[in-house]
Amino acid sequence: MKEVAILGAGYAGLRTLRELQKQSDLHITLVDRNDYHYEATDLHEVASGNQPKEKIIYPIKDVVNSKTTTFIQDEVKKIDPDQQVVDLKNNQPLHYDYLVVALGFETETFGISGATENALEMVDVQTAEKVYAHIQAMMKKYKETQDKKYLRLVVCGAGFTGIELVGALHEGKERYAKIAGVDPAEIEIYCIEAMSSILPMFNDKLTQYCLDYLNKWGVHLLTSSPIKAIKPEKVVYGTDDWEEELEAGTVIWTTGVSGSHVVGDSGFSEKRGRVMVSDDLTDPDHDNIYIIGDVSAVMDKESNRPYPTTGQISLQMGDHAAKNIQHQVKDESTEPFTFKSLGSVASIGNTHAFGYVGSTAVQGYPASFMKKMIMNRSLLKTGGLKEVMAKGRFDLYH
Ligand code: NAD
């Protein structure tokens, strides 16, 4: 019986598992450091304290079919593609015939001084919970000191993640203000962005829709303001000609992501933790290794740049890797991957969103509704009906 190892139970890994389990003549081993899957696209909800972590996670065992699959909760240290083994922190090395590397993303600091030490990251459930705990602590600190910097929250980078976080923080303001004993209007939210405009993938009307909300909410959006350093409770930004410092108790780093460091540590040819894969999603040097999700780069032939890493492309890659492994097991040739974009929608707050569904621009409540429905559909396909009933987004009239 062929052995398939899947590393990572995020969108890409879990979808591969779900599809491969339909085939009974394989044994699958799934490895993840956690015993739960989390919806990475909802981390801002936990970081802002608007949702408890239970709302965005579900147990991996709910997806694992014990007849075909063994789940190992452990940390992946390194892959040896020549020996076909995976080194784990606490278990024996794992042998495979086919490997699916779906180890996800990490914070990218671009070497900015102090970012790792002095800013909070938001890359998994633990770090998201840490952000909320920190915000609460800062609000208490304000009560003790009356120093306004503790009422200030700074989001570094106005990409998708940064903007969605800003919206969630705005919705959390009332709760934070109560802890600090101030009016919600006194909680200041800053978002500092290097580029002169935000979200360049959207048309001007959609970007303006987002800007109008930020403006209405009193969010301080600073564009053309590259961050140069993070000092304790201080963000330093500017160019060669000017420099400013902003004091803040809470500084959250969302300036982009890279793929898992395990990819580089294992000697794969990578850039920022991403491997430029072959058309069928395998590593160019190893046709029994699929590299998918945030550790993978697939060229968009239209823009001549790799597709951005998203939950959506990860799910499609998971489906495709499973299909190709089934082909290989049957000695059939693999199929090339093509990404079918369903669009991309960014939420700002619980009931507002903007973006594209297919190629149609949408904004406001309908966009938010579409986003929730797309997420429920993906939850159904990967987690199953039980998870949709428990975790689905139906709170549309909130
Ligand atoms: P990103 O790379 O899309 O955005 C990071 C932002 O930070 C950019 O605007 C960049 O100019 C800015 N930045 C970088 N260095 C900076 C500096 N020193 N100072 C100030 N600003 C700086 O990263 P992300 O937002 O984390 O998103 C990662 C990926 O996940 C993207 O591909 C995104 O499309 C995807 N994503 C999608 C959704 C969604 O579909 N709703 C939600 C979240 C993330």
Which pLDDT tens digit goes with each residue over 180-206?
999 999 999 999 999 999 988 899 999
CA of 182 to the centre of ligand 1 (A): 32
Report how far ligand 1's centroid is from the alpha carbon of 371 (Å). 19
Q: Tokens 């740049």 belong to which residue?
A: 305
Report the nearest-CA residue for atom 40 of ligand 1.
344
Longest dimension (CA), the chain: 70
Q: What's the gap in Å between 257 CA and the centre of ligand 1?
A: 7
Centre of ligand 1 from the C-alpha of residue 47, in Å: 17
Is pLDDT of 397 > 60? no
Are 166 and 81 within 8 A, CB to CB? no
Is the shortest distance between the CB of 195 and ligand 1 below 6 Å? yes
Residues marked as catalytic:
164
Give the integer Cα–Cα distance in Å for 291 and 278.
Answer: 9
Ligand 1 proximity of 226 Cβ (cutoff 6 Å): yes
For atom 14 of ligand 1, the residue with the nearest CA is: 255
**Which residues face 5 on adjacent strands?**
29, 99
Closest CA to 366 of 375, 357, 358: 357
Six-digit token string for 194: 């290097």
- The verdict on ipTM greater than 0.90 is yes
Question: Is the Cβ atom of 160 under 6 angstroms away from ligand 1?
Answer: yes
Q: What's residue 293's pLDDT?
A: 97
Residues 6 or more apart from 157 whose CB is under 8 A from it?
Answer: 191, 192, 193, 194, 227, 253, 254, 255, 256
Dist. CA 86 → ligand 1 center (Å): 31
Closest-CA residue, ligand 1 atom 29, reads 309
Question: 220-222 and 188-192: which strand pairing?
Answer: parallel
In the chain, which residue ranges form alpha helices assigned H by DSSP?
Answer: 11-20, 43-47, 115-118, 125-145, 160-180, 204-216, 261-265, 311-329, 365-382, 385-391
pLDDT of res. 283? 98
Same fold, 2-107+257-340 and 115-253: yes
What is residue 181's predicted lDDT score, i.e. its pLDDT? 98
Contact 275 CB / ligand 1 (< 6 Å): no
Domain segments of the chain: what residues?
A: 2-107+257-340, 115-253, 342-398
238 Cβ below 6 A of ligand 1: no
**pLDDT at position 297 over 50:** yes
Average pLDDT, the chain: 93
pLDDT, position 394: 57
How many other C-beta atoms lie within 10 A of the C-beta of residue 113?
14
Spatial contact of 119 and 251, defined as CB atoms under 8 Å apart: yes
CA end-to-end span of the chain, whole Å? 51
Question: Is the C-beta atom of 162 inside 6 A of ligand 1?
Answer: yes
Closest residue to atom 41 of ligand 1, CA basis = 346
For residues 192 and 222, the answer to whether their CB atoms sit within 8 Å is: yes
User: Is the Cβ atom of 159 under 6 angstroms away from ligand 1?
Assistant: yes
Does residue 290 sit in helix, strand or coil?
strand
pLDDT band for 351, please (50, 70, 90 cuts): confident
- Among 27-31, 294-298, 303-307, 345-349, whose mean pLDDT is lowest? 345-349
Check if 346 has its Cβ closer than 6 Å to any atom of ligand 1: yes
Which numbered atom of ligand 1 lies nearest the CA of 227? 19
Q: How many other C-beta atoms lie within 10 A of the C-beta of residue 354?
A: 25
> Which residue among 122, 255, 313, 362 is best mutated to probe the pocket of ligand 1, counting the most ligand atoms within 8 A of its Cβ?
255
Q: Ligand 1: does its nearest atom lie under 6 Å from the Cβ of 310?
A: yes
**327, 335 in Cβ contact below 8 A?**
yes
323 Cα–ligand 1 center, Å: 31
Question: Bridge-partner residues for 255, per DSSP?
Answer: none
Fold of 2-107+257-340: FAD/NAD(P)-binding domain (3.50.50)
CATH superfamily of 115-253: FAD/NAD(P)-binding domain (3.50.50.60)
CA 213 from chain centre, in angstroms, equals: 23
The stretch 104-129 carries a mean pLDDT of 96
Q: Determine the atom of ligand 1 nearest the C-alpha atom of 201.
A: 34
Q: For ligand 1, is residue 100 a contact (CB within 6 Å)?
A: no
Q: Which of 216, 160, 164, 177 is nearest to 47 (CA)?
A: 164
